[in-house]
Structure 1
Amino acid sequence: MRHLGLTVAAAAVAAALCGCGKSSTTSSDQSQASQPSATSASSQPAEPTPEQKKQAVAQLPAPYNTGDLDNGEAKFAVCKSCHTLAPGGPDMTGPNLGGLFGRKVATKAGYAYSDPLKAQSFTWDAAHLDTWLTDPKAMVPNTKMTFPGFKDPKDRIDVIAYLKAETSPHS
């Protein structure tokens, strides 16, 4: 139990650091969400293999197809306090990102997007993610997302490659 409390506390610290704002999820909700149930564990998709991740990243246009997945994962750590990646995973302060690539902006069922984001008409791809991850509020003024962005272009390339590897459907 002590470990779980530290996990929730670490998530709260990460949320404060990334500026994601407060989640409407309570600590007990977060604790329950982090413990897979017997039924949900069997229905969750299997973790993609390294080869599947490599194939997903190879589908990206240059330079995103050269992304460093380890650095992308490390940089994405600040995002984990607000977003989950597994297809069908829970929404948090931000929406679950499973199946992100190729999805029209602000259309993930069950998530309450801001009106400015709902007014957009693009589909998520590497180029739109790059612009978004540079400075979300510059791309879509008055969005709910308070994350200031990744200023280093290499970090954005790596995060985009990591997102592609982790959120794409794998067979």
Structure 2
Amino acid sequence: MSAVTPGDAGSDRRFALPPSADERTLLDTFLDFQRDALVRKCADLSDEQLRSRPVPSTRLSLLGLVRHLATVERWYFQGVVADAPWPGDLFDLTDDFDAPFHDVADATGPGSFAIWREQVATSRRIAAALPLDAVGRTPGTGAERSLRWVLLHMIDEYARHLGQADILREAVDGRTGE
């Protein structure tokens, strides 16, 4: 695991990605870097700002991204890697997997980030206990996914949504950068 965990880095500090390391260290560190970027993108904003949908062409909000990524952490690490039955909806919303993106009217930053941090901690525990070649099955379909695949997918998932977060944050208060 990396020395810096989401929330530890603060809103202004960065941590260096290793230029060379073993595969596991690189995967864990790059995923933690993405996780920490989510925290930085949401730093110093009010609940109202986190819930806002500042880009007219989308229903996305920064808080919706946090809630979605908490759900994705739960799905892939608990539901797929741990090969457990779907552990349930984090936000008691609907059967719509995308509901965490949109149903944020009553959500708070501290509450949503607490859930997200809990899911990240659980994901880390599950991943740390298994080799990269460990295989889990997707609930419902039974499709096999290795831990390596899940870690790479999660890096991709965060990276895509962080691009959205860049645009949302700039639209909320003009802040840009990593």
- TM-score interval for Structure 1 and Structure 2 normalised by the shorter chain: under 0.3
Write 1 or 2 for the structure with the bigger share of helix: 2
TM-score (norm. length: structure 1): 0.26
TM-score (norm. length: structure 2): 0.26
